[in-house]
Amino acid sequence: MSNHKRSKQNNCKYILTINDWHVKILFNDDAYQRIFDDSEFEERISMEMTGRLISTTSKKCKDNMAATIDIKPNELWYQRDRLREDLHAIGNIYIERADSEFYQEDTICFWITVPTKSYENMKDYLSYKGKAQLNLVGTELLYRKGEIYSLEFCK
């Protein structure tokens, strides 16, 4: 996405409180577009969370900003050698303006992919706790966009 070098100076912390979440499952949602395709049905799962940015070291966004987090299970990026070699991001950040059709206020959005086992553990944790704090480390925003390198659930 961007050509940022991953360094201490470039890293920003984004600390969010998660107030609500749900799992969205789409089953063959684009079948109507591929009516002659006889391949297997496709399932897409994501965990969508809403909350607030309670603290950040970024100079491009403000505390108490509305936040959405979309986490999808995916094994494609998760190759340890590649992860260490080119410091591959696990997700993206972008800011949606209040004037968009989906948001009533400026909202910081996170789109993240994680290994399936991690996804299941996160879902179990949220099912048990109900609410959570999420700590993310990524790049500073450039033109309202950035990358995420790590995430952590906390009490």
Mean pLDDT across the chain? 81
Rounded CA separation 10/142 (Å): 11
Q: Tokens 């080119």 appear where?
A: 86
- Tens digits of per-residue pLDDT, 17-63? 999 999 888 776 665 665 666 666 677 888 999 999 999 999 888 88
Q: 44 — alpha (psi -120 to 50), left (phi > 0) or beta? A: beta
Query: pTM of the entire structure?
Result: 0.79
Domain layout of the chain by residue ranges = 11-25+41-154
Torsion of CA 35, 36, 41, 44, to 10 degrees: -50
The three-class DSSP label of residue 96 is strand
Rounded CA separation 154/35 (Å): 45
Which tops the pLDDT comparison, 68 or 119? 68
Q: How many CB atoms lie within 10 A of CB 21?
A: 19
- 76-106 b/e (C-beta count within 10 Å ≥ 16 → b): eebeeeeeeeeeebbbbbebbeeeeeeeeeb
In this prediction, residue 122 carries a pLDDT of 87
Element housing 126 (H / E): helix 116-129
